[in-house]
C-alpha cells in the first residue's frame, strides 16, 4: 500500500463526524483512474441515518469519475484493526474483484491485508441482475 493511500485514510478519519459513537473511521480508495478518494463516517442524531466511512469514500470515487476500486485502506482511531462492517463489505464488493486488497490500518500503517474474497466469501452474485 502506498503512503499516499494510508495518509488519505488517516486524514479522512480526522474529518469524521462521529459525535455519538466518538469512533472516527477513515477510508481511502485508489481507483482505476489513478486517483485517491477518501471518506469518513458521518453520523446523525437519528442514529440509523448515519453512515460509515467506506460509502463516503465510494461516493467520492463515483462522483470523481472513478469506477473501480484498485486498493482500499480503512483506519479507525480507537481500534488497531477495524474490519469493515457487513454492509460495507457488500458495498465495497460492488466495485472490487475477488483479489482486490483491503488494508486494515492503525496510525502506524497496515496491520492486516485482506482480499475482497476473504472479507466477503460466498457473496451474492448473479448474472440475472447484471
Q: Provide the CA 6 distance to its chain's centre, in angstroms.
A: 12
Catalytic residue of the set 54, 71, 94, 127? 54
Burial of 57 (0-12, 13-18, 19+ CB in 10 A): buried
Any idea of the CA torsion for 30, 31, 35, 37, to the nearest 10 degrees?
A: -70
CA-based angle 2:11:47, to the nearest 5? 120
Per CB under 6 A, the segment of 7-15, 21-29, 98-106, 117-125 that binds ligand THU is: 21-29
Which cell is 22 given? Answer: 466518538
d(CA 104, CA 92): 14
- Kindly indicate which of the ranges 45-53, 65-73, 103-111, 121-129 contains the residues binding ligand THU, using the contact rule CB under 6 A: 45-53
Task: Quote the cell numbers at residue 14.
Answer: 480526522
Task: Identify the residue among 7, 32, 50, 115 touching ligand THU (CB under 6 A).
Answer: 50
Is 14 catalytic? The answer is: no
18 binds ligand THU (CB under 6 A): yes
Selected from 5, 31, 38, 52, the binder of ligand THU by CB under 6 A is 52
Which residues in the 83-122 window bind ligand THU by CB under 6 A?
Answer: 84-85, 88
Among 7, 11, 15, 23, binds ligand THU (CB under 6 A): 23
Per CB under 6 A, residues contacting ligand THU are 18, 21, 23, 25, 41, 43, 50, 52-54, 84-85, 88
Amino acid at each position: 500500500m502506498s503512503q499516499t493511500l494510508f495518509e488519505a485514510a488517516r486524514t479522512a478519519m480526522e474529518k469524521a463526524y462521529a459525535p455519538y459513537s466518538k469512533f472516527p473511521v477513515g477510508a481511502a480508495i485508489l481507483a482505476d483512474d489513478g486517483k485517491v478518494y477518501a471518506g469518513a463516517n458521518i453520523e446523525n442524531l437519528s442514529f440509523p441515518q448515519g453512515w460509515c466511512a467506506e460509502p463516503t469514500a465510494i461516493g467520492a470515487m463515483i462522483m470523481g469519475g472513478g469506477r473501480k476500486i484498485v486498493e482500499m485502506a480503512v483506519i479507525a482511531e480507537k481500534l488497531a484493526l477495524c474490519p469493515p462492517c457487513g454492509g460495507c463489505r457488500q458495498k465495497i464488493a460492488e466495485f472490487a474483484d475477488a483479489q482486490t486488497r483491503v488494508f486494515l490500518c492503525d496510525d502506524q500503517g497496515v496491520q492486516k491485508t485482506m482480499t475482497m474474497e476473504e472479507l466477503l466469501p460466498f457473496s451474492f452474485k448473479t448474472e440475472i441482475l447484471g
